[in-house]
Amino acid sequence: MRLIFMGPPGAGKGTQAGRITAEYNYLHLSTGDILRAHRKKGTELGQQAQSYMAAGELVPDDLILKMVAAEFERPEIENGFILDGFPRTVAQADALDEVLKETGKTLDFVLVMDVPDEELVARLTARRTCRTCGRSYHLTFNPPKTPGVCDVDGGELYQRDDDKETTVRNRLAVYMRQTQPLIEHYTKQGLVRHIDGVGSVDEVFSRIRKVLESHSHTD
């Protein structure tokens, strides 16, 4: 299965992608996680991306497209993939269409996770992220078993610098302006399925699973 997870920051894309990859063997490609790994390693890309990420603005398309092209070379991509946080602009979506065409691949679904703005702000401002694996938690909605420690790998949980309220509000505005128009792009291709993202993580997961199972014969 080849999927795109779309939805505003805080909609639960990373959380749900983690649930799916725990069950199905798809490659989870989160451009945000890949960029944070570059920042941590101090690569040139990490340094170029830093100021955009800190301000909640998008990293320029040429940098993102080069980075994603490298990911598409990975052999695991053949098992199926979930794109999480990519594409985010019309230029990125056009480039992805091109790569898929060249490699003879098609997308199965674009899942758009819908969550109201005030809930997004509440989710993001109390989000905590594992330094090692990038998995996200929430201080009250989805707490780790031990405060400050990742359930899965014991990594330290931290607050992302772009999860402060003013940056969060800018990220939501950037989403509305630059990414939301892509829903129309994929609606025209007949790929969009809206998922109600409000409810427990399990409830949302079962809504997603229903959509995937409606189509599993092409797996």
Closer by beta carbon to ligand ADP, 38 or else 212: 38
User: E strands within the chain?
Assistant: 2-6, 27-30, 81-84, 109-114, 127-130, 136-138, 157-158, 192-196
Residue with nearest beta carbon to ligand ADP: 32
2, 36, 123, 171: which one is catalytic?
A: 171
Closer by beta carbon to ligand ADP, 68 or else 212: 68
Q: Is 127 an annotated catalytic residue? A: yes
Q: Rule CB under 6 A: which residues touch ligand ADP?
A: 7, 9-15, 31-32, 35, 52-53, 56-59, 64, 85-86, 88, 92, 123, 127, 136-138, 141-142, 162, 171, 199-201, 204
13, 19, 36, 123: which one is catalytic?
A: 13
Structural tokens at position 121: 């702000």
Which string of DSSP letters, residue by residue, matches 65-89? HHHHHHHTTSGGGGG-EEEES---S
Q: Is 131 an annotated catalytic residue? A: no
Closer by beta carbon to ligand ADP, 2 or else 123: 123
Closer by beta carbon to ligand ADP, 104 or else 118: 118
Buried b (16+ CB within 10 A) or exposed e, 169-182: eebbebbeebbeeb
Q: Is 171 an annotated catalytic residue? A: yes
Sole residue written with tokens 């992608």 = 17
Q: Is 169 an annotated catalytic residue? A: no
CA–CA separation, 70 and 77 (whole Å): 11
Shortest separation between residue 218's beta carbon and ligand ADP, angstroms: 26
- Give the active site residues: 13, 88, 127, 160, 171
